[in-house]
Amino acid sequence: MHGSRPLSNVVATQRIHEEYGGIVPELASRAHQQHIVPLVHRALAKANIDKKLLSAIAFTRGPGLLGSLLVGTSFAKSLSLGLGIPLIEVNHMEAHILAHFIEGPDQQPPPFPFLAMTISGGHTQIVLVRDHFKMEVLGETLDDAVGEAFDKSAKLLGLPYPGGPLIDRYAQQGDPLRFPFPIPKVGGLDFSFSGLKTSILYFLERERAKDPDFADRELPHICASIQHTIVNILMQKLQLASEQTGISHIAIGGGVAANSGIRIALKQAEADLGWTTYIPPFQYCTDNAGMIGIVGYLKYLEGRFTHLGVSARARYRIGG
């Protein structure tokens, strides 16, 4: 990072998980070990920066898969110690929110306070953001995350992993009202997606019993209906949060923020509800180094450094 502007944002895609239909934690941590050193070299070369010019090392402490987090934490601590520069821990979910503050063309950060909805494979949260590091979780999923709901639904349809983007692609060719699915009744601002997943399973079993080719023939309409239902669940809770807080500046982050249905619904809410919405560029929606870098930069300005005895945390709540 040079200030709030990334000089490089390099990603190593772990394609090995595709053949297993989901992320295998042990394989993920081994892939981290294999890629982390060459990836850092590539990032520095792309940025045209010598490691001796670095001012601090930012790393993801959590939440996430512990094995992978341990690899990153150990490497970051070693770099910090070897270079004699400060170490800065980052909460993965805070980073998705603060990705909105990465400098870039046509990217305007939301003003404080704003509501953030973090939607990813492992998390679904609505967060009240009062300042860069003053955040309060207003609601979160009680079971599956929204990304899981997409991927598990795709698996039921026989689509390869990761299936969420494929559901989005097929949904654009289908009728979102063709097959109605139930919206879970969950109080307050919390979410639940496990019941929806079960209803999709029973629906497909019932229809396939009558016609084995049903899912293949109706795939675009099924995908459109699933996506329509999930987007409705998210938007209903987000609207309730806006009504309760009186906040109309709405930001989203996380890998599922790339979903076209959610983006369309947010733009429609600007017209219908008077919201101002904020969506990061695609490269900063999925997990990436840029969002960790911006948190590191903001913490560096405030002197929020981490001691070398820090350990990774699989569970790490916002504000924790």
The Cα 114–Cα 125 span in angstroms is 14
Question: Average of pLDDT values for 27-40?
Answer: 82
Residue 90 host element (H or E): strand 87-91
Question: Average of pLDDT values for 129-133?
Answer: 97
**pTM tops 0.75:** yes
Residue 161, number of CB atoms within 10 A of its CB:
16
Is the pLDDT at 299 greater than 90? The verdict is yes
Is the pLDDT at 207 greater than 90? The verdict is yes
Is the pLDDT at 146 greater than 60? The verdict is yes
Q: Report whether 163 contacts 150 (CB < 8 A).
A: yes
What pairing do the DSSP bridges indicate for beta strands 276-278 and 249-253? parallel
Is the pLDDT at 272 greater than 70? The verdict is yes
pLDDT at 105: 79
Instruction: Decide yes or no: CATH 3.30.420.40 for domain 108-279.
Output: yes
* Angle at the Cα of 243 from the Cα atoms of 242 and 249, rounded to 5 degrees: 30
The Cα 62–Cα 72 span in angstroms is 10
Which residue pairs, CB below 8 angstroms and at least 24 apart, start in 127-133? 127/93, 127/97, 127/318, 128/245, 128/247, 129/97, 129/251, 132/98, 132/101, 132/298, 133/94, 133/298, 133/299, 133/302, 133/304
Nearest Cα neighbor of 76 from 101, 51, 93 is 51
Question: Average of pLDDT values for 14-37?
Answer: 69
Nearest Cα neighbor of 196 from 231, 149, 128 is 149
Q: How confident is the model at residue 23 (pLDDT cuts 50, 70, 90)?
A: low
Identity at 258, one-letter amino acid code: A
The segment with the largest mean pLDDT, out of 20-24, 39-43, 64-68, 138-142, is 138-142
Q: Domain segments of the chain: what residues?
A: 1-107+287-320, 108-279
Torsion sign, CA atoms 256, 257, 263, 268:
positive
Superfamily of domain 1-107+287-320: ATPase, nucleotide binding domain (3.30.420.40)
Q: How confident is the model at residue 37 (pLDDT cuts 50, 70, 90)?
A: confident
pLDDT at 20: 52
Structure tokens at 129: 């953001």
The Cα 101–Cα 131 span in angstroms is 12
Q: Answer whether 1-107+287-320 and 108-279 agree in fold.
A: yes
Determine phi and psi for 220, rounding to 5 degrees. Answer: -60, -40
pLDDT at 132: 96
| For the chain, percent of residues with pLDDT exceeding 70 | 96
